[in-house]
Amino acid sequence: MFKRFKNTFGRDSKEKRERSSSAFDPENVANPLGSDSVHHNLLQHGNEGVHPASCFNHRVQQAGLHQKTFELEVWRTGAVTEDDTNVVKAPASRFLESGRDSDKVHNYSFESFLMAFEEKLHIADGGNPIHIMFGKLGFLDHKGIYEAVVDQDSFGVALNNLYLNRGNNNVLTFVFQPESEQHRKKRLEIKDGHNDARLKETDDEADRGRTFPGETPSKILPQERLSPFTTADSEQGSEDIRRARTDLSVQVSAMTGLPNRRISPHTDHFSNPRRESGYTVATTPPSPRSTNSSKQSHIGSIKAAVMKAVNGPVKRIPETKDEESERFKFLYQEEKRVTFKRGGAEGADDGDADKLDILGDGTAEGEAEEQLEEKQKDDDDEEEEVSNEDRIVSKLQKLQNLGELTQLRDPRDTQDTLVRWKECCAMFRHDPKGTKIDNFITVTGLNTKIYQYQAFGVYWQMFTSRELGGGFLADDMGLGKTLSFLAYFVTERQLSVLYREVSKSRALQDGKHLLKGQRGECPSPSKAGWIACPCSSISPTSRMAPQPGLRMACVPQGLVGQWWAQWKTHVDITNNELALKIVVDHPATFNNINITIADRLASGETAQNITRMQAEKYIRGKDGNGDDRPKEYHEGYLLLTTKETYPKFARKFETNGQVRDPKKGGEWKSGTRSCLIFGIGMIDESHEEYFKNKGRAEILANLPTWNNSVRPFVWGYSGTPFSQTPRGLEGVLWAIEKHSVTHDTDFKWEKLDAICKEYDSQVKSNKRDDEAVKQILAAFKPFLGKFMIRRTAETEWFESQSLIKKQPHIHQDVYIKPNETFDALIPAFEAKFDSERDAVLEQLQGKWDNFPDSRRSDIRPTRLGFNAICKTSWRSRILATFPYLFKLVTSDEAADRLTLTGEEVQSFKSAIDKKEFNTPYGKHLRQIVEGSPKCVWLYTFIPQILSQKDVSGNDQKLVILTNFPQVAFLLKLFIQKYFPEEKERVGVIAGRMKASEKAEIINAFTDAMDLKGKRKSKTDVRFLIGTSRLLGVGLQLTRASNIVLMEPDNEFVREMQAYARVHRIGQRNPLSRSYRLIDSGSEIEEAILKRQKDRNEFAGRPFNAEEAEQI
């Protein structure tokens, strides 16, 4: 799943360690061309004006570029004296990209160069921040002419020139002059004068996020690119900028006599698509300590000219808050926002809470229907202009939200004792009073715990299958229908296994299970995650006969990969008792050359799978003809197929022989037998092809039953089962009727067909007949109550059973461009810890190896599951939020080196609580914060919170959640440092804390009151920071209406729980918001998002961002 994580591809561990070792020690990279080779590759990056022979003269040393030293001379004032300069150095190998050819200049990172020397200048200057890209950076070429260095290409040109003309010097010298006070003021004046001018993002700027956070382009001469909506004033401002650039260019050129090579229109210097910038950097004079000593007098004149141009030295004065805010705007780039909405007036079911009250005020079903009819009448009166067809379809769609479709209420349960829920809990051995949303159900055979509503859906499908032969699971989109089916599949398999154990025990009379007719509870202890034993008559499973045969999921072709991925995620194929296996009948899936050998074993074209799926064939003898029988392990086999591939697959199992003739009461006749026997068949997206004997519905209807006695249970899955016509039920209903032995005349296909014809007649009629439509829908409604279970996103579980109107909630996924300098290094860094993943995988493989061949699954584990990878890749997830920590975890300085472990941050907790900055977190806080695009985004967001009041006129508060205590404590330091006025109002709940400490922080944040109406806490917490495990469940944090998640969670339920802390019934503010920050370059975050997308896990309904801002 993560392409750079070697263990997921089953490669040799030794190879991984060897390949990853060089990624973090670039200084040890050897010269790949050898000591005697000439570095002719350096010529490929444009040495204009260099005579070819000069590259091979006697001065060219054989040492490689990576063995040189880079030197940066800093001129404070531009004076001619060397007392004005300061020199810092670093090995060239530090900037060589991992695993790249050391002789090619484009493999040396300009971003890394800037970051390294900024840090060195910061230390050398006593902690005062110096930003190279606000100043002037350059070098002297072989002719002594100054060249500016502004991007990756000009950096490569510099390396070519400096390397090939270094003489006997192993030092390659760059020169830098910090921004002058005059230019700083001018930059701020330009900013203040053009607040309304919006910079236009052109193609040259589209990938500007590929910079390190400190690499803000020079603002001495901002680029004149404005929005198409530019005002006259802003255009005049742009002209002023161009004039300023020209004046400075002419001034320097006239005083020095040097060609004006670098002060020119922006597009001349930033056309390279690999690196773009919104600003042009002015020229910088050469150093008096250049290796070309013959040019010294010329250099002096350059420095004198530049001193006049920039007018004086830089003054060391503290950066103002406005200057800091302006600078931070250029430290990150927001790529896009994806907006979702939950609740509010547009909620599909918000307005009909009364008709869905199951445990609430006791409104009778008939009363609810009358209220619904009244509401429909009112709606009709208000929409006289709506077409007859639209009005009828709208009424039909409202039937999808009927309260009785939750199926919790049994129509035969006149006392409303919730007998179905109690039986469900008895089957899963769950406490019926434990109805909290976070009380999940564990099912052996699944890696994922399921929600209670999913467990109830499984129970309902099991008894409905045996009562009716099938039906519809129509949960709304995003509620996990795929997982619901897999849970149903696994639970049916458990039932079959348990029945066989009971049968064997009774035959042996070993006392492990009750004998037939014997009362009481099962004498054997229950197995964790297994349903109740059917040997006891008090168990609901005793009334459910096992269903033999294979299982089928027929899905659209485009969903095969998603379904298979869901199987890998959710189904535990290592359980030997259940022996669960998937067979994928979709040859195109296996055309991918990257597919693993283990995955190829799941192909429906392998001889082993074809053989194992064949039924036990009847051998014709003296008794004449007979039925084939399914094998015992078939209930654990799932065939994943499509309507396009299944017919060809089924023909592999056909032979000539005797079959039953359904038209003659099952008499035997010559025909084509099939040794495929299906016990359960399901079609996904059943609404797409709903006519009988068409598409996937035809597959269900024609499941082979003509030479076996198994009658399959058939199901249709869809989030929109009948959006336009009642005929949406036809295909599945026909298949149910065809495979059933008995038929209820009130629910036969012919009756549904008659209803559909009347409905179509009304839709096509130009005459409005509300009474006729009412009768049609009334006749259709019993079909829904009989065959369908449906829950929506607004359906709540027990504590708040009704569908009620919540305040609107806007969620936005904020995609932020990454810190490219570290982003490219993080996957290789993570590879250093492949041994941890190898150990976990080896444990799984060892467990598999120790099981007997007859009991273990067919496939030996070759890779870790998704959650296991996420769990063992916690370092990458932390670094996706704070990339600069990479420097500290790979630091050579023992005092600053971090491990990022929970134990380490816990050791820092005391100092952090005391607002001390003597830990590595505190000492490097500026680099950590400003090197984090996510944190910089938060810096720009917090002032919005500080400027707002809530509905009661109190200060707005903010909840910030993360998966990691390390991130939580860094965020606390960040707010205390950059928002000192709020430093006493930050609370953190993470790591090991006393219960009293947590309670104090929560009380301070929620403004909790005692019985006397006084605040329980003397302090006031405005920013509540914590881990999603500690803050994301069970708390009401409605004192805030905004919540920020610092990273996506591989367990989506935790994210939803987090949003629910502020989006709750008790939220008094008219709108709540949540934000999830996403590093668009993070491989692991991308994988988490892909998984959530594949599972249809979204934070709400997609919504227009512009409309969201207007709410």
Q: pLDDT, tens digit, for every residue of 947-986? A: 999 988 999 999 999 999 999 999 999 999 999 999 899 9
Burial 452-482 (b: 16+ CB within 10 A, else e): bbbbbbbbbbbbbbeebbbbbbbbbebbbbb
Query: What pLDDT was estimated at residue 339?
Result: 93
Average pLDDT over residues 332-337: 92
DSSP label at 955?
A: B
What is the percent of the chain where pLDDT is above 90? 31
Answer yes or no: is pLDDT of 291 > 70: no
Query: What pLDDT was estimated at residue 347?
Result: 40
CATH class of domain segment(s) 810-1110: alpha beta
C-alpha–C-alpha distance, residues 927 and 941, integer Å: 19
Average pLDDT over residues 1021-1030: 89
Mapped onto helix, strand or coil, the DSSP state of residue 10 is coil
Superfamily of domain 418-742: P-loop containing nucleotide triphosphate hydrolases (3.40.50.300)
Query: What pLDDT was estimated at residue 118?
Result: 85
Beta bridge partners of residue 683, listed in sequence order: 554, 716
Query: What pLDDT was estimated at residue 28?
Result: 34
Strands 958-962 and 809-816: unpaired
Give 20's pLDDT tier (boundaries 50, 70, 90): very low
Average pLDDT over residues 774-798: 87
Whether 67 and 93 have beta carbons less than 8 Å apart is answered as yes
DSSP string, 863-910: S--HHHHHHHTHHHHHHHH-TTHHHHHT-S-TTT-----HHHHHHHHH
- In this structure, the dihedral spanned by the alpha carbons of residues 460, 462, 464 and 470, taken in order and rounded to 10 degrees, is 120
Query: What pLDDT was estimated at residue 885?
Result: 92
CA dihedral sign, ordered 160, 161, 164, 168: negative
Average pLDDT over residues 477-490: 86
Answer yes or no: is pLDDT of 904 > 80: yes
Answer yes or no: is pLDDT of 584 > 60: yes
Give 713's pLDDT tier (boundaries 50, 70, 90): very high
Average pLDDT over residues 498-504: 95
Instruction: Judge if 418-742 and 810-1110 fold alike in CATH terms.
Output: yes
Answer yes or no: is pLDDT of 798 > 80: no
Beta bridge partners of residue 581, listed in sequence order: 637
Query: What pLDDT was estimated at residue 898?
Result: 87
Answer yes or no: is pLDDT of 650 > 90: yes
Answer yes or no: is pLDDT of 500 > 60: yes
C-alpha–C-alpha distance, residues 685 and 723, integer Å: 12
Whether 322 and 208 have beta carbons less than 8 Å apart is answered as no
Give 363's pLDDT tier (boundaries 50, 70, 90): very low
Q: What is the pLDDT of residues 66-77, one digit of tens each?
A: 888 899 888 765
Give 236's pLDDT tier (boundaries 50, 70, 90): very low
Place of tokens 């930050």: 986
- In this structure, the dihedral spanned by the alpha carbons of residues 32, 38, 43 and 49, taken in order and rounded to 10 degrees, is 150
pLDDT higher for 393 or 725? 725
pLDDT higher for 781 or 1106? 781
What is the percent of the chain where pLDDT is above 70? 71
What mean pLDDT, rounded, does the chain reach?
A: 75
pLDDT winner (highest mean) among 348-362, 375-389, 593-607: 593-607
Low-confidence winner among 231-235, 601-605, 761-765, 925-929 (lowest mean pLDDT): 231-235
Answer yes or no: is pLDDT of 1107 > 80: no
Low-confidence winner among 758-767, 879-888, 934-943 (lowest mean pLDDT): 758-767
Average pLDDT over residues 623-633: 85
Low-confidence winner among 202-216, 1018-1032, 1040-1054 (lowest mean pLDDT): 202-216
Query: What pLDDT was estimated at residue 550?
Result: 96
Answer yes or no: is pLDDT of 717 > 70: yes
Query: What pLDDT was estimated at residue 1060?
Result: 75
pLDDT higher for 267 or 310? 310
Distance of CA 231 to the CA centre of its chain: 40
Joined together, the tokens standing for residue 176 give: 């830098």
Average pLDDT over residues 6-21: 38
Query: What pLDDT was estimated at residue 631?
Result: 93
- The interaxial angle of helices 749-764 and 388-398, nearest 10 deg, is 140
Average pLDDT over residues 874-889: 92
Query: What pLDDT was estimated at residue 13?
Result: 39
Q: What is the pLDDT of residues 828-864, one digit of tens each?
A: 888 888 888 888 888 878 877 886 664 455 567 777 7
Q: Domain ranges in the chain?
A: 64-320, 418-742, 810-1110
C-alpha–C-alpha distance, residues 1057 and 659, integer Å: 55
Q: What is the pLDDT of residues 513-565, one digit of tens each?
A: 999 989 999 999 989 999 999 999 999 999 999 999 999 999 988 678 778 87
Low-confidence winner among 42-46, 103-107, 279-283, 380-384 (lowest mean pLDDT): 279-283
Query: What pLDDT was estimated at residue 554?
Result: 94
Query: What pLDDT was estimated at residue 376?
Result: 44
Average pLDDT over residues 242-261: 36
Q: At 668, phi and psi to the nearest 5?
A: -80, 145
Query: What pLDDT was estimated at residue 987?
Result: 92
Residues with Cβ within 8 Å of residue 12, at least 6 apart in sequence:
none
C-alpha–C-alpha distance, residues 834 and 838, integer Å: 6
Give 277's pLDDT tier (boundaries 50, 70, 90): very low
Residues with Cβ within 8 Å of residue 201, at least 6 apart in sequence:
none
Q: What is the pLDDT of residues 144-203, one digit of tens each?
A: 777 888 888 889 889 988 888 887 778 899 988 887 777 767 666 654 554 444 333 333
Query: What pLDDT was estimated at residue 62?
Result: 58
Give 640's pLDDT tier (boundaries 50, 70, 90): very high
Query: What pLDDT was estimated at residue 17?
Result: 37
Query: What pLDDT was estimated at residue 228?
Result: 27
Q: Where are the beta strands (DSSP E) in 22-98?
A: 69-75, 85-91
Average pLDDT over residues 576-596: 86
- Which of 2, 99, 24, 9 is CA-nearest to residue 838? 9
Query: What pLDDT was estimated at residue 536?
Result: 93
